[in-house]
Amino acid sequence: MNLQADKSFREYGKDFAIVMEIVKNKEKEKQKLRAELEDKNRLEKRMIHYKELVTQALVGDGYFEVTKTFSHLIGKTVILFDRFLHPISSFFMGERNEELEEIVRQLNVKAWEIMNIPDREQWLQYGGDHHLGIWRVVCGSELFGYVGVKASKQEFDLEMRMTLKYALDVYAIQIKKQKLVAEAKEQVKDGFIHQLFLEKIEDKEKVIGYANLFNLNLFEPNRIGVLSIECNHREADLQSIKLKMTWIWEKIRTALHLFDRNIIVTQKEGRYVLIVPDQKEKDSNLYWKLIHKQVRDVVSPTIQGIEIFLGISSRTQTIEDYHICYRQAHQALKIVSNRFSNKHIQNFDNLGSLSILFDLEESFAAKLFIKKYLDPLLNYGNEKGKDLFDTLRVYLSMNGNLKETAEYLFIHRSSLKYRLEKITDLLQLELDDPEERFNLMLAFKLYDLFGQRNLHHG
């Protein structure tokens, strides 16, 4: 009986093992089917995302949808930067947008280093233990921008890297498309500016049409600004600076566009040219100082030892004025950069006779003129001669008013009279003579314009 029971138990055990094996195999098949189904669903989902990315690259005009799709695909925060590491679009997964400000601050510190490292993959640590992977968006050998993904290096498995590679290609297509449009528009703008600044405009209707394309009203007052960036470097450094200037110019254009979208920014004859609607100038001096500051803030952190000069024209009244105003701005730039470099900004309206005197071809004549009218004062001792020189300048600027001159110089009226008598004696002329006053004022203008070192000596 026991033997029969043992036999039945063993047979039952075998049957149970067979059943369990069958169940186990069935479970494996189910798991395999589930895995295959998950892979299929994941593949289908990815294909849908890829299709969306391609669709955005082909028909979209912006970057946000590409960024959003890529972010959803990998489940991470994604930021697209231009090639100067300025954020273009971003999509955050659960974080606050304030985090972008911290990322941008860190990138500003390391911008030049990141942009000059050839590696396509770099990692930035910020805010303590946060990490941002940075990859270059390139087409051939041309750099278009950067894509940043908030993740650690360990999180980037093979699947994420494959997705990233595809997204980088899609970004490259989109940026290339935008770049081609921008370059075509810039070429049209350069041609338009060339026509606008001609002394004689042959096809006014065409120029007016192009102006409308760039939202420039030629029949409202505008001013022309001509900008120059001068480098005080050894010749060995100039090649490096030239390489930097190419992308710095694009940063300047971007900064000025953000500052005021109504500014037209272009290049002509190796100079940077601005066309600014005059109604923007509620405070003209302050407005142009702010423009100068925008440029300085872009250039100074990257290139040390540079000076930025800006010449500004009078207001345009007619379409024919643009040629004249461009020359005015160019003239103001030459004067401020060559003779008054400490000012950095010069408005043509404030030049007065300097705009004519600067173009004197015979500096020897100017030297003789200064020698006749100012040398006797400049050579009369060190301090005494300087006092007489300054006294005469103030006296002429006050139109010969003794009271105002004495108050300005903080001296007694009798002291002023003594100085004027001494000046009259040294110069051998009458200060009350209108012709002599004019000559003296002209001598001071020439002295200021050409400088003591260039004309007074040698």
β-sheet bridge partners, residue 310: 227, 345
CATH class, domain 60-181, is alpha beta
pLDDT digits (tens, 9 = 90+) for 332-345: 998 888 777 788 99
Question: What topology does CATH give the domain 363-456?
Answer: Arc Repressor Mutant, subunit A (1.10.10)
Q: How would you classify the pairing of strands 130-139 and 345-347?
A: unpaired
First to last CA, the chain: 138
Give the least confident one: 92-106, 108-122, 132-146, 354-368.
Answer: 354-368
Q: Is 451 exposed, middle or buried (0-12, 13-18, 19+ CB in 10 A)?
A: middle
pLDDT digits (tens, 9 = 90+) for 7-38: 565 666 666 667 677 777 777 777 777 777 77
Cα distance between residue 430 and residue 48, in whole Å: 93
| 3-state secondary structure (DSSP) of residue 277 | strand
pLDDT at 95: 62
User: Dihedral angle at the C-alpha atoms of 22, 26, 29, 30, nearest 10 degrees?
Assistant: -170
Question: What single-letter DSSP state applies at residue 317?
Answer: -
Q: Domain limits of the chain?
A: 60-181, 202-357, 363-456
pLDDT digits (tens, 9 = 90+) for 225-244: 999 888 765 544 555 566 66
pLDDT digits (tens, 9 = 90+) for 75-116: 899 999 888 788 888 888 776 667 888 888 888 888 777 877
Cα distance between residue 152 and residue 397, in whole Å: 70
| Domain 202-357 superfamily per CATH | Reverse transcriptase/Diguanylate cyclase domain (3.30.70.270)
